[in-house]
Amino acid sequence: MTEQITKAMQKFPFNKKNRMAGVLATAIALTSLPCLAWSWNPFQSDDADAKEKAVVAEFDWQLPTPPADENLLPFYVSKTTHQAFAIDMKSLSVDADAVIRFTIVGTSAAGAKNISYEGIRCNSFEKRIYALGHADGTWARARDSEWQTIAVKGANLQHAELAQNYFCSNGQITGKAEQILQTMRYHKNGLTQP
């Protein structure tokens, strides 16, 4: 590589008459070099590897068994909520990636059930739906499963209720799974419900 450049420069010494020819010869020699594959990207931050590992870790979880009625723990959402909500106590986990994962069951007044496996991150006040449950006990991975900010107004306030009153406090997880369940049982017994 350097030999090609040196030979090109020797043929056209840099002086006033042929300075342009020397520059042209150097450019030709450089463009004939084989392309090098670089693993380092100057525009990529050092955190990119950590973010990539975090994405991989985010998918490093198992879908739980389908919820059984005896494992459902109801929780109050609001007077305007048209569904009754419960979480599957057996599915609740507080994981090393600071995500609380759980199965939630919403039941309409007519008895139709919506089952989903979800996650909540306290530090960013976000929720994510991982999978949807079917009546036959199988799961289907949710499409467009991305982290979204938890709504505190309007419809679908079940996530805000879980995050604000049971799972999180000042951006931190309130405790281990059993501690969270104990708090939910305490509230279920009518101590804070209207």
pLDDT digits (tens, 9 = 90+) for 139-188: 999 988 899 999 998 778 999 999 999 999 999 999 999 999 999 998 76
Check whether residue 135 and residue 73 sit in a common domain: yes
83 with 155, same domain?
yes
Q: What is the pLDDT of residue 11?
A: 54
pTM over 0.85: no
Range of the domain at 19: 1-37
Residue the block writes with tokens 């467009």: 144
- Strand, helix or coil for residue 72: strand
CA dist 43 and 4 (Å) reads 31
Does residue 119 form part of some domain?
Answer: yes
pLDDT number for residue 182: 94
Label residue 97 by pLDDT band (50, 70, 90). very high
Residue type at 55 in one-letter notation: V
Quick one: 71 and 31 in the same domain? Answer: no
Domain shared by 103 and 28, yes or no: no
With a cut of 70, say whether residue 136 has pLDDT above it: yes
Q: Of 58-62, 86-90, 96-100, 115-119, give the lowest mean pLDDT range.
A: 58-62
Distance CA 119, CA 102 (A): 6
